[in-house]
Structure 1
């Protein structure tokens, strides 16, 4: 596969063998491209692999493409002359100090002194990318790129002094070798064996791989001539349903001698029903498991065995749905959905802390200007996109992506603001999908309070990001818009008698209907007064008369709101009941939807199809985030964990311990009712806890804050052991 792709590339430079020793001593370099272009191209490749019963099934929204012609440049001040090697994906030319060099040089000597190197690359099929490496020169994220240089030459031959070009810093990933071409990227694979194979009298096989998985099926000892059909199932029932299963693959076999054969596309399954026609036989079946090479840094263990299994299955669900991008589910869509991705970002910060996957997904979702619809066509998914960008900065401390995306943030926000109605509210217009959640009977009519709340948070995120890129006028504008909208939300939707935000406004009048969505978001957004928080907790979150949530997607936010209110003992019981309920039904990964009131085959059906439900959905993995942030109690207080807090809450557990990843290392926490043990690799932290008795920590003074509250400042790299008496 790699060799065939190499042959298709317009230009590949082969270094002389004599340079190998010199290269090892040279500066590390990486392939670079116009920011977002590779992510858009790669997401197009991935999202168009979806099939439905063998038919091509592309996304519902507009797909953008990469810029075919890109200019890269960097300025240097060299103490001595330096030889560099150049590689490019595409046709290219090279200019040194504005002078066009002959041909397409594979090597170049840059004289001592100040110089500018420009490389312009054209590639329609793949993303234009360059790789430059010398002793001190090397392509990286500091290079500047543009898709239009806006230069001209006058009649005398003089090149324009000013072009008006907008230059952005280059995009990159981990293609750190000259041979590691971005266009040739593939996920990794490894062999896996089936746990059980049942052979039937008609020659068919039912293969069970033991749990939800993803990859290619390998048929061993395949022989004969004729068709063979593979029916894939996340459940046994689905694999056996030749008329109802969601995915299948038909192979035409023409093999006079025994050989092995792989399915052509990777798929999700636990069971595979293999039905060769007469004249075709096979000896055995295995698979190639396909996966993204991410490292699991987060960890959680406790005194509760069921909770430990919930965490493990949540982590495995994330493993499966973390691919080139964070996707929704591995069986059906395999697309990049913003609402699903936003939750994956949060879980990622407590499991992998894999920033490149967050960045790739964010770029892929946004696409390019002009804006013609909401992200994924869904209004609320557009708002999650904005909120996720500032969250990423808060966790990572990296402004680069904010700077690269800020112009696209502005144009997308302009689109949103232009679609407000005459009263300044977001209301679904033609082409807008107001999603919120999968919930029977949920009204989307009128101006839904939930959408106004998300717009308000998006405007706040815009203001914060504007400050990061030194757009002070923009920061003032967005902050004022957010403040005005927040005041309107509470003036319009807050119902003092109900102690809650009502669901919508229709024909200019607030309705009496109360749902959980806006109310629970208003809690962890910090929009409610303490008195309003308690009202919402009692009148909405703990009120069985308010329609219940049946998707892990929104259960995530409901339980987060309760954790933010200090209800960890209640949330622990809910996690064990809800996610534990799926485990009791045999789940090996967590589902798209789970309603405990359903029975038998009802748990497999969705979208009017008997097996339409995804049994491995990213938004099912939220216990990772809840346990990391609200039980281990770790979160950043300033960007990149420069400062952070640890507020452990056992929530009824006898003990718990875990690791939370950060940009500069890990934070470890162990808690019992009598002892707290914490350590942070970097940054300045604070341990906050409640104790019934006066706590102690050897060699350190604990600060009493009153009412049994205590704080302990944490220095980097030092372990602290606190003796105390837990209050919960």
Structure 2
């Protein structure tokens, strides 16, 4: 039913300059289409980023804080309303095409405007010609679909916003004439709740777990006010206007009708109504992005299995039009949060489109006037995230399309360096790092390490985009800044990087941030890594990290230096602590030292904390990359490495998605089974003796008790027998 209603709405909305497609029936369309090959690969196209930017305008303003709208405090761009689409074609004889534009347009052939034509049977003249469509749409954004045997819309068309700069057209999965990209919508499923408290004029419902959707009050009538107070906890729902979100309905009618709210996050709903009102029931529609679960993990530890399942559900709730930070608060796209979601996505759903939508929406249009989300580190995460997307997908076309915006953002950053060529927060910049009581002024070593990595990332992307001069410039600069990082901030006595330098005075304080990233980015040599391990990561005197956000990186760093079992024990204690408190999704932050309702307070508000926060789902990434041990070693998993480790488990089994399919793995203390996909793999394991595999295939020892085998046959199961060994470090 929902699809039928959508189709009718879209049919009415697809208009052209002097006629309306509402008069065109399906039979007419199909009759004309008989002249067009069924294999036509036409796609809806648009100006790069405009679909995502338009969608962002629809999503970014939906946050509510205690009855008040709360839009973002950074610039939110709008799509261009006037776009020219251009294609040079050459055909041997006249050819009919069908034109679908989502608003007013005109057609030019060789610069001459065409008149008196039928959009669904437009004849192109033979020969070589320039074909242009100028589309005007200020309600959504200009988009175009041309269907024809030889001439049709695809990524080879050029577009401009009338500034005489042309780019290759953007496209997606939209191919149906009646479903332009502006028809994008989420899906809905009915959900019901249990009544846990009821009297004459109030009702408390429990939906069983954290969820997100539209609430429906069925057959509501009478005169008065109905109030809905939403809660991620029962306490929040019962707190009245102290709840972070609530809705009021003013009703004055003597006939029953259904009322539907905007999408809200909740587990509990407390409904209070005036006694002159009546209604039949209150239910909800779960709102979600259809995602196919491609990755998986299960093991011998039931708590880790529960942590994985709740992590996956948390990520599913926050993966929507974009990667949102949380579903109650903020319902915004934050670049630092999104960066982790990209990586978790690659070990769970492998939905490339939501990553790309998020990256475009974060960046917006030119010119760059502030850092992304106004945060210095978040500009760097945005650039690094694009390269990581390429590493996992191999999508060169996306890199080439978004590269101009990478370059202008990097140039903005380069223009804001201080006299030492380093980055520091300037007026208007937010130096975030983490929710922690640390000095964020001056030259912060953590910002320099992200700066170096972003220079490396854009150098690689510039090379892919054919901008070799800029690639070389950024490569040289990254090497120069890396030398300064070590010369200035590495303290041999402390065996660690110190935190910052302010007004020429070097701090003596050591924090975990720069040190763990030096391991993750492989900037520290073997000796330095050992010192960081002992002096920082395993040193309880160094200020602890309390947010899942930075725990993501700290636990990954522990895994990189061979401390996987310590990392997994921490996951069990920290994430298990939330489960013990009844969590059905994972939180923005968790402090085991707090008690009672203290757990839900944040930002000076009793229920300000988000109890469904994307960065809380990071065990997905840890289990996939460091237990199953799968990672790409060249773009798009053309080559990959598998380094599985039980880390104290009896057995584990899982799947890691790639662009070509999944890599499947089972491991216990004696046997490893690997099912390969396309690409050249390497399996690296620890064993007391040389592992055994099928005849004709053999392992070779790379160092004491470490062995490798090449997995060069796609879609094949390899069965390996080995002898488990403990406490072998890298």
Deviation at 1:200, TM superposition (A): 2.9
Deviation at 1:411, TM superposition (A): 1.3
* Alpha carbons of structure 1 residues 496 and 88: separation in structure 2 relative to 1, 3 Å: same
Alignment counterpart, residue 529 of structure 2, candidates 526, 533, 543? 533
Structure 2: distance between partners of 1:484 and 1:105: 61
**Deviant stretches of 4+, over 6 Å:** none
* Alpha carbons of structure 1 residues 596 and 251: separation in structure 2 relative to 1, 3 Å: same
Q: Deviations over 1:159-198 (max 9, x none)?
A: xxxxxxx32221122222110122232211110111x213
Matched residue, 2:693? 697
SS at match of 1:209: strand
Q: Deviations over 1:385-434 (max 9, x none)?
A: 01001111111101122111212111111111111111222111110000
Residue pair 1:93, 1:104 contacting (<8 A) in 2 also: no
SS at match of 1:243: helix
Matched residue, 2:219? 221
Structure 2: distance between partners of 1:207 and 1:398: 46
Matched residue, 2:134? 120
Gaps of 5+ in 1: 151-165
Q: Deviations over 1:642-674 (max 9, x none)?
A: 111111111111111111111111111111111
Show the 5 A alignment for 1:234-249.
234-249=232-247
Asked if residue 327 in structure 1 is aligned to residue 324 in structure 2, the reply is yes
Show the 5 A alignment for 1:630-645.
630-645=626-641
Structure 1: distance between partners of 2:117 and 2:683: 59
SS at match of 2:240: coil
Residue pair 2:636, 2:659 contacting (<8 A) in 1 also: yes
SS at match of 1:571: helix
Structure 1: distance between partners of 2:117 and 2:584: 54
SS at match of 1:612: coil
Structure 2: distance between partners of 1:112 and 1:697: 63
Structure 2: distance between partners of 1:456 and 1:535: 22
Q: Which stretch has the larger CA shift, 55-64 or 485-494?
A: 55-64
Show the 5 A alignment for 1:132-531.
132-148=146-162, 150=164, 166-194=165-193, 196-263=194-261, 265-439=262-436, 441-531=437-527
* Alpha carbons of structure 1 residues 509 and 126: separation in structure 2 relative to 1, 3 Å: same
Structure 2: distance between partners of 1:103 and 1:144: 25
SS at match of 1:451: helix
Structure 2: distance between partners of 1:204 and 1:288: 21
Structure 2: distance between partners of 1:75 and 1:658: 49
SS at match of 2:594: coil
The TM-score, its normalising length taken from structure 2, stands at: 0.95
SS at match of 1:717: coil
Q: How many residues align?
A: 710
Residue pair 2:14, 2:100 contacting (<8 A) in 1 also: no
* Alpha carbons of structure 1 residues 96 and 672: separation in structure 2 relative to 1, 3 Å: same
Residue pair 2:690, 2:699 contacting (<8 A) in 1 also: no
Matched residue, 1:162? none
Asked if residue 86 in structure 1 is aligned to residue 99 in structure 2, the reply is yes
Alignment counterpart, residue 30 of structure 1, candidates 30, 37, 43? 43
Structure 2: distance between partners of 1:435 and 1:706: 42
Residue pair 1:466, 1:474 contacting (<8 A) in 2 also: yes
Q: Which stretch has the larger CA shift, 274-283 or 108-117?
A: 108-117
Q: Which stretch has the larger CA shift, 650-659 or 276-285?
A: 276-285
Deviation at 1:79, TM superposition (A): 5.6
Structure 1: distance between partners of 2:116 and 2:451: 52
Structure 2: distance between partners of 1:380 and 1:706: 38
Asked if residue 662 in structure 1 is aligned to residue 661 in structure 2, the reply is no
Matched residue, 1:160? none
SS at match of 2:199: coil
Alignment counterpart, residue 593 of structure 1, candidates 565, 589, 593? 589
Structure 1: distance between partners of 2:617 and 2:11: 38
Q: Which stretch has the larger CA shift, 614-623 or 689-698?
A: 689-698
Deviation at 1:721, TM superposition (A): 0.6
Deviation at 1:349, TM superposition (A): 0.5
Q: Deviations over 1:245-272 (max 9, x none)?
A: 0000111223423343221x10000000
Residue pair 1:691, 1:709 contacting (<8 A) in 2 also: yes
Deviation at 1:711, TM superposition (A): 1.2
Matched residue, 1:626? 622
Structure 2: distance between partners of 1:483 and 1:105: 60
Matched residue, 2:72? 59
Gaps of 5+ in 2: none
The RMSD of aligned alpha carbons is: 1.7
Structure 2: distance between partners of 1:5 and 1:242: 40
Deviation at 1:105, TM superposition (A): 4.3
Deviation at 1:698, TM superposition (A): 0.9
Residue pair 1:71, 1:149 contacting (<8 A) in 2 also: no
Deviation at 1:74, TM superposition (A): 2.6
Structure 2: distance between partners of 1:224 and 1:33: 48
Structure 2: distance between partners of 1:555 and 1:521: 12
Asked if residue 609 in structure 1 is aligned to residue 609 in structure 2, the reply is no
SS at match of 1:93: strand
Structure 2: distance between partners of 1:287 and 1:603: 27
Q: Which stretch has the larger CA shift, 44-53 or 698-707?
A: 698-707
Q: Deviations over 1:344-389 (max 9, x none)?
A: 0000011111111111100110111111110000000111001001
Structure 2: distance between partners of 1:520 and 1:299: 27
Matched residue, 1:131? 145
Structure 2: distance between partners of 1:104 and 1:561: 64
Structure 2: distance between partners of 1:145 and 1:471: 21
Q: Deviations over 1:203-245 (max 9, x none)?
A: 2000100000000111223232211010001010000000310
Deviation at 1:701, TM superposition (A): 2.3
Residue pair 2:61, 2:71 contacting (<8 A) in 1 also: yes
Structure 2: distance between partners of 1:676 and 1:103: 70
The TM-score, its normalising length taken from structure 1, stands at: 0.95
Structure 2: distance between partners of 1:370 and 1:23: 42
